[in-house]
Amino acid sequence: MTRINDDFLDGLADELEPVRPLSDTRVYFGIFGVGLVGILLVAGTLGVRPDVLDGPLHPMFLFRAATLLLLGGICAVSAAAMARPGVGRVGKAWLAALAMAGVVPLTALGYALWDPAQAARAVWYWSAIYCLGVSLSAATAFATVFILHLRRGAPVSPQRAGLVTGLASGSLGVLVYSIHCPSDNIAYIGMWYSLAIAIATLTCRLIVPRLIRW
Partner 1 sequence: MTADEATLARLMAAAQRGDKAAYRQLLGLCSGLVRRFYLRRLPEGAIDDLVQETLMSLHRKRDSWDPQRPFLPWLAAIARYRWIDHLRRAYTRAEVGLEDVFGVESGEAAIVARFGCDTLLAKLPEAQAAAIRVTRIEGLSTTEAAARLGQSESLVKVNVHRGLKKLAAMVEEDQ
Q: Write out the residues near partner 1 by the rule CB under 8 A.
A: 1-4, 8-10, 12-22, 83-90, 152-154, 156-157, 159-160, 214
> Rounded distance, CA 28 to CA 31, Å?
5
Residue whose CB is less far from partner 1, 65 or 211: 211
Residue whose CB is less far from partner 1, 20 or 44: 20
Q: How far is the CB of 82 from partner 1 (least distance, A)?
A: 9
202: nearest Cα among 146, 145, 139: 139
Residue whose CB is less far from partner 1, 9 or 106: 9
Residues in the chain: 214
Residue whose CB is less far from partner 1, 87 or 99: 87
Give kind and range of the element (H or E) at residue 27.
helix 25-45
Whether the CB-CB separation of 30 and 152 falls below 8 Å is answered with: no
> Rounded distance, CA 110 to CA 124, Å?
17
Q: How far is the CB of 206 from partner 1 (least distance, A)?
A: 15
Q: How far is the CB of 21 from partner 1 (least distance, A)?
A: 6
Q: How far is the CB of 114 from partner 1 (least distance, A)?
A: 39
96: nearest Cα among 111, 112, 77: 77
Query: Which residue type, as a one-letter code, is found at position 112?
Result: A
Q: How far is the CB of 213 from partner 1 (least distance, A)?
A: 9
Residue whose CB is less far from partner 1, 147 or 189: 147
Q: In a 3-state reduction of DSSP, which class is residue 188?
A: helix
189: nearest Cα among 65, 38, 41: 65
